[in-house]
């Protein structure tokens, strides 16, 4: 299920993004960025719709995934 970011409290969204960027294996390229810079980058990607906030009922977890991982029908709804 895709979660619209405008339906979340700002602090909740910030905490979700922070947990995402702190995950091991998250890559931001050759140049190292501060935690706040990484959070801002992901927040901008969410606002632009490049990535989506997704809740998995199966895993009972929230993740941030690239929009292109979803089928064309889902993308057209966005």
**CATH code for the domain of 55:** 1.10.10.610
The predicted pLDDT at position 26 comes to: 58
The predicted pLDDT at position 10 comes to: 97
Give the integer Cα–Cα distance in Å for 35 and 18: 8
0.85 exceeded by pTM: no
Cα–Cα nearest to 42, from 14, 62, 70: 14
Number of H helices, E strands in the chain: 3, 2
> Could you give the number of structural domains in the chain?
1
The predicted pLDDT at position 24 comes to: 67
- Structural tokens at position 61: 């977890």
Q: CA of 1: how far to CAs of 27, 28, 62, in Å?
A: 25, 26, 9
Domain assignment of residue 73, given as a range: 5-23+33-77
The arithmetic mean of pLDDT across residues 12-35, rounded, is 83
The predicted pLDDT at position 27 comes to: 62
The predicted pLDDT at position 73 comes to: 46
Q: Is residue 28 part of a domain?
A: no
Question: Half-sphere exposure of 55 toward its Cβ, with a 13 Å CA cutoff?
Answer: 9
Q: Is residue 49 part of a domain?
A: yes
Residue, of 64 and 29, whose pLDDT is higher: 64
């Amino acid at each position: 299920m895709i979660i619209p970011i405008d339906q979340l409290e700002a602090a909740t969204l910030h905490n979700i993004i922070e947990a995402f960027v702190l995950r091991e294996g998250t890559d931001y390229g050759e140049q190292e960025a501060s935690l706040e810079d990484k959070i801002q980058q992901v927040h901008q990607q969410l606002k632009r719709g490049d990535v989506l906030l997704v809740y998995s009922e199966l895993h009972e977890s929230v993740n941030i995934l690239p929009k292109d991982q979803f089928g064309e029908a889902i993308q057209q709804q966005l």
